[in-house]
């Protein structure tokens, strides 16, 4: 019943703005760069504790990059200056509380019907609703609402991960729909199916560097960055192999054998960076397409300190064949933002699945 009330509240809250010109699936494509976030709220609230909390929620540092980058780039818009062009941005947030009477707050509040305002007052659990394709195709819009500013601040503080995850999933969905439009790397499917009874989608533009029954490496070298995907496996012995130290040891073993900073200098190989205390390797248990898995994020470098960058990996087990799989994406992009590169590599890794019986 609670979920039904929230769903009805979302529909009612958006009713008065769902017929905006250019909105819905018939509108223009959403504009803006990946990771851009536009926040529409009254200037007094933007400059106060509510605005600071929303801003810090979306601009906190992305985990384990070798440079400081926010998970999103926040842009504030005065509601009175919200025009047709700005309404078409890919990620919009409207924030308002009913105790604010300033002109900007009234403008945002005017998007709600009286019925929806009454529901905000009566349903203490309701503080957030989202809509897709509201003003443009491929757009995500979020409304953060509350009876009082103090109440909304409390709700946001308790749901920061949920709020940002919504837009992170939206960015991943957009990437998934565009990343493989130009096709896929040829030959990988056949090799994967034959040697590993599995598949992974590698976008066109990558090159296959190495492929055998225990290790596959695909790489895309661009003028300003280097993107890499590799898959390794070994016999599965015990759950202890999922411990962080064990995964790092396996990663370092694979990298020393196969991944070189300079192919002409085999003594220059990749290792896991474990000596930077404020950028530790991080692990967490996740559900990887129905399988128990451990996600690992950290930094890598060459053993002679000539190169380095971030990596993201997943470890899981092929129980039928008793094999531990380790799949990773890493990048070398000195002086370039790496957040969107890592999102792209994560999308590729998440196309992995077993195909054989």
What are the sequence ranges of the domains in the chain? Answer: 2-179, 188-354
Sequence-distant (≥ 6) Cβ neighbours of residue 84 within 8 angstroms: 21, 22
H-type alpha helices, 201-352: 244-258, 339-349
Please give the backbone phi and psi of residue 58, each rounded to the nearest 5 degrees, phi first.
-90, -15
The residue among 102, 104, 105, 83 whose CA lies nearest residue 92 is 83
The residue among 92, 163, 162 whose CA lies nearest residue 131 is 92
Residue 148 CA to residue 342 CA, distance in Å, equals 38
- The pLDDT tens digits of the residues spanning 22-69 come to 445 567 999 999 999 999 999 999 999 999 999 999 999 988 887 889
The tokens describing 280, both together, are 């530790």
The residue among 97, 118, 129, 181 whose CA lies nearest residue 17 is 129
Sequence-distant (≥ 6) Cβ neighbours of residue 31 within 8 angstroms: 85, 88, 89, 90, 136
**Which residues partner with 270 through β-bridges?**
302
The enclosing H or E element of 96 equals strand 91-97
Q: Confidence class of residue 356 from pLDDT cuts 50, 70 and 90?
A: low
Residue % of the chain over a pLDDT of 70: 90
Q: Are strands 308-318 and 128-132 parallel, antiparallel or unpaired?
A: unpaired
Q: Is the pLDDT of residue 222 over 50?
A: yes
- Domain boundaries 188-354, CATH class: alpha beta
Q: Is the pLDDT of residue 219 over 80?
A: yes
For 145-167, give one letter per residue: b (16+ CB within 10 A) or e: bbbebebbbebbeeeeeebbeeb
Q: Residue with structure tokens 């604010």?
A: 100
The enclosing H or E element of 95 equals strand 91-97
The DSSP letter of residue 339 is H
Contact 53, 169 (CB under 8 A): no
Contact 74, 57 (CB under 8 A): no
**Which residues partner with 208 through β-bridges?**
218
Mean pLDDT for the chain overall: 89
Q: Is the pLDDT of residue 10 over 60?
A: no
Q: How far is CA 110 from CA 16, 113, 137, 277, in A?
A: 9, 7, 23, 49
H-type alpha helices, 180-325: 188-196, 244-258
Q: Is the pLDDT of residue 347 over 80?
A: yes
> Taking CA 92 as the corner, what is the angle to CA 287 and CA 336, rounded to the nearest 5 degrees?
70
Q: Please give the pLDDT value at position 4.
A: 30
Do 2-179 and 188-354 come out as alike in CATH topology? no
C-beta neighbour count of 83 within 10 angstroms: 8
Give SS3 for 238. coil
Q: Give how far the C-alpha of residue 197 lies from the chain's centroid of Cα atoms, to the nearest Å.
A: 28
- The pLDDT tens digits of the residues spanning 240-285 come to 999 999 999 999 999 999 987 666 666 779 999 999 998 999 999 9
Please give the backbone phi and psi of residue 31, each rounded to the nearest 5 degrees, phi first.
-115, 170
Fold of domain 2-179 = Rossmann fold (3.40.50)
């Amino acid at each position: 019943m609670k979920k039904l009330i929230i769903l009805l509240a979302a529909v009612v809250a958006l009713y008065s703005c769902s017929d905006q010109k250019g909105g819905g699936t018939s509108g223009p494509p959403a504009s803006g760069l990946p990771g851009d976030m536009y926040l529409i709220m009254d200037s007094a609230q933007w400059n106060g504790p509510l605005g600071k909390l929303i801003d810090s929620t979306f601009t906190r540092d992305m985990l384990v990059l070798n440079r400081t980058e926010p998970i999103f780039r926040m842009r504030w818009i005065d509601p009175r200056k919200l025009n047709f062009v700005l309404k078409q941005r890919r990620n919009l947030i409207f924030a308002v509380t009913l105790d604010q009477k300033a002109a900007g707050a009234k403008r945002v509040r005017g998007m709600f019907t009286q019925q929806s305002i009454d529901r905000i007052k009566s349903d203490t659990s309701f503080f957030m609703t989202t809509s897709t394709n509201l003003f443009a195709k491929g757009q995500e819009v979020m409304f953060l609402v509350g009876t009082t500013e103090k109440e909304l601040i409390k709700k946001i503080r308790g749901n920061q991960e949920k709020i940002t995850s919504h837009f992170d999933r939206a960015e991943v969905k957009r990437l998934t729909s565009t990343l493989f439009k130009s096709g896929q790397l040829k030959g990988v499917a056949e090799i994967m199916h034959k040697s590993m009874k599995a598949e992974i989608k590698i976008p066109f533009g990558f090159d296959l560097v190495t492929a055998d029954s225990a290790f596959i490496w695909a790489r895309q070298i661009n003028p300003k960055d280097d993107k890499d995907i590799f898959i390794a496996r070994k016999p599965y012995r015990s759950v202890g192999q999922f411990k962080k130290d064990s995964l790092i040891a396996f990663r370092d073993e694979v990298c020393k054998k196969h991944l070189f900073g300079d192919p002409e200098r085999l003594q220059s190989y990749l290792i896991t960076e474990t000596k930077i205390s404020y950028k530790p390797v991080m692990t967490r248990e996740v559900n990887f397409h129905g399988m128990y898995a451990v996600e690992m994020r950290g930094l890598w470098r060459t053993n002679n300190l000539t190169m380095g960058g971030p990596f993201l990996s997943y470890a899981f087990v092929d129980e039928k064949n008793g094999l531990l799989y380790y799949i990773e994406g890493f990048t070398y992009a000195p002086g370039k933002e790496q957040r969107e590169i890592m999102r792209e590599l994560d999308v590729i890794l998440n196309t992995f699945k077993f195909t054989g019986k």
